[in-house]
Structure 1
Amino acid sequence: MLECSVDERHCYYSILQEQQSFKKQGIFTPTFAEFTTNNIEHNLQIMEDRGVTFPVICKPTIAHGSKSAHEMIVVFNEKGLSVCKSPCVVQSFVNHNAVLHKVFLVGNRYHICERPSLKNFYSSDDLEPIFYSTGEVCKADSQSTLSILDPHDKSDVQMKLDEVKVRHIIRVLRKEIGLLLMGFDVVLDNETGNHAVIDINVFPSYDNFPNFFEHFLDCLDATVNGVDISKVSNGDSKEEFEEMSNCNGLINVGTQPHIGVTGMYIHS
């Protein structure tokens, strides 16, 4: 298990990029580079060495715990790199038709939410960087113009998230990182359909997580008492038990009835 500080975005990306099993299943994390200096020539060389291509998303190295961690920049060309202030990470942008899938984990239980996201972007020598906050673009009720697809990008073909791949990502992250409360963001490459893990969220906001308190308390109890939290609760039917068993102990709580409190924020 590789230990990462909660603020090291590049460390989590490294974990994802090193997973050989991802490549076999059409899962990947976009190429990225860490900037520790504001020297553009030096940073361009790092990008070339690591295979990072424009456009890129510039993200703060700090991935958690502050508003600034969610402030991003779309950079289309070399001159735009002047706005990327170290320490930061630049990540090759994957066109995904403005659809983001957020996966929230509580122990072995997970929930998937579909959210709006950035529209498709392409490298350009003319475009200026675009500054945005994920809170303005990727929340459930976001209505940003940055999410409106251009006419030439609209398609009747709808790519579907593969939950088998989602569960594989969960198992890998649980093994490599070991956190009980976390989440990650997945987008589908609009050309290949491959699943790109573009971010890992430590202690995310659990808004819309069904019965969050119940699952959170079960997770705490299991951790303290060494209980297998993949085991079903008293209210689960035989059919539900069999379905959960087929998922190697991972439970999609979004398929169960929503009762009581739906979610909470555990950080500001």
Structure 2
Amino acid sequence: MSGRRVGFCLSDKKRRRLNLDAFADFCIDLTQPLVPQGPFDVIVQKLSDVIVEAEHDSQSQQLLVNFQSYVSAHPSTVLLDPLPAMTQLLDRFASYRIMSKLHNSLLKCCICTPPYLEIHSASDLMTEPTNTSSFSLLTPVCKTRVAHGSLSHEMSLIFSAGSLAGIHPPCVLQSFVNHGAVLHKVFVIGDRHFCVERPSIKNFPSGPCERKTIFFNSHQVSKPESSSDLTALDEQMPCLPPPSSEALAALVRELRVQLGMALFGVDVIINIHTHTLTVIDINIFPGYEGVPQFFSSLLSHIQSVLDKQASAGLQATGSPESRQTTGGPSAAPTGL
């Protein structure tokens, strides 16, 4: 990595979660012109906040335009990950359509995704409840359409069609799968992945009932140290087998192709009845908690990307000289 410049463009919250506050003074600052801060061989970014806020905030919109203009003007700068690829995961309608394709491509690996419904407006609720049985939505989990921000973690577990009247579109209804209160978070860094076990929602009897809707915050429930009545299992529940390493590798390979991304997370569970690996969510540039090799793996991936870029450049030009790089310290992350 000698002589290569890597810029990080992250929110204050993301920077703190990755323990990068010590480098705040050397960061990319989107509020300032980017050209004097470069050049960059690679920019590692998570501009989720800016993209979402740009929908209704002119200042965020201008920051995004400035960043996109810089990237367009510097095509040799590698962006991890590309903005269009990352943006699609901000919309659960889009990401769940991607997930649904896994049924066909990974069927032989016993990997699936739960049935789901897109609820675009309140009018959908006038017809969809009568169709939920055809989607096996016996106990749907309601999730916001926007898969970013604190509200995206606010979910509800719905036990009767009558309770669907209380949801707030646009949202997704995803069939709840009993999984022994264990969530497997798969963290992807290039061609490497790490699987970390977390607590999750306990099992519930199948089929509609008169139980009241359960509201919960998925982030709080699945924290490593989480202890909640929602995660307390019946003592007679047998232990489930861990996810197959071969199945996880196949899942990551397929998603890297479909997403066109290198830094993402996948939430998977094991169906207690079929032991099928079930994908329930995809996350943009997650926190990588529990992955001690995060930075070494990230640097290894960056090195691999730059080596491939240099090799492709040599083949295209036929020149023995490698692309010019600049020295100096790597740029560190910034708040936006």
What TM-score, normalized to structure 1? 0.78
Question: How far, CA to CA, are the matches of 1:36 and 1:168 in structure 2?
Answer: 32
Q: Tell me whether 1:175 sits opposite 2:257 in the alignment.
A: yes
CA contact (8 A) 2:117 2:174 kept: yes
> C-alpha separation between the residues in 2 aligned to 1:48 and 1:207?
37
Structure with more helix by fraction:
2
- RMSD, aligned CA: 2.4
Task: Pick closer, same or farther for the CA change 1:220–1:70 going to 2, 3 Å.
Answer: same
Corresponding position of 1:88: 171
Partner of 1:226, secondary structure, is helix
**Is the Cα–Cα contact under 8 Å of residues 33 and 46 in structure 1 kept in the other structure?**
no
Matched, 1:142 2:223: no
Q: 1:214 — aligned with what? A: 296
SS at match of 2:257: helix
Return the alpha-carbon distance in structure 2 between the equivalents of residues 266 and 104 of structure 1.
23
Post-superposition Cα deviations, 1:121-155, rounded to whole Å, max 9, x if no partner, equal 2333311111100121111111111001245xx33
- Alpha-carbon distance between aligned partners in 2 of 1:267 and 1:132, rounded to the nearest angstrom: 29
CA gap of 1:219–1:157, structure 2 versus 1, over 3 A, is: closer
Once the 2 structures are TM-superposed, how far is the Cα of residue 213 of structure 1 from its aligned partner? 1.5
Q: How does 1:61-72 map to 2 (within 5 A)?
A: 61-64=145-148, 66-72=149-155
Contact 1:56 1:90 in 2 (8 A): yes
Query: What letter is aligned with 1:106?
Result: I
Choose the corresponding residue for 1:120, options 181, 193, 203: 203
Query: Runs of 4 or more off by more than 3 Å in structure 1?
Result: 45-49, 265-268
Secondary structure in 2 aligned to 1:174?
Answer: helix
Q: CA deviation at 1:67?
A: 0.4
Q: Structure 1 residues 124 and 52 mapped into 2: Cα distance closer, same or farther (>3 Å)?
A: closer
TM-superposed deviation, 1:17: 1.6
Q: How many Å separate the matches in 2 of 1:160 and 1:214?
A: 26
Structure 1's unaligned 5+ residue stretches are: 229-264
Q: Is the 8 A contact 1:37 1:43 kept in 2?
A: no
**Aligned residue pair count:** 227
How far the C-alpha of 1:10 sits from its partner, in A, is 2.3
The unaligned stretches of length 5 or more in structure 2 are 1-83, 311-332
Q: Which residue of 1 aligns with 2:127?
A: 42
Deviation string 1:157-195 (CA, Å, 9 cap, x unpaired) is 432211111011001100100111001011110001011
Q: Percent identity?
A: 32
Alpha-carbon spacing, 1:266–1:155, altered in 2? closer, same or farther (3 Å): farther
Mapped contact 2:144–2:171 kept (Cα < 8 A):
yes
Matching residue's letter, 1:68 = L
Distance change (3 Å), C-alpha of 1:208 and 1:85: same
SS at match of 2:127: helix
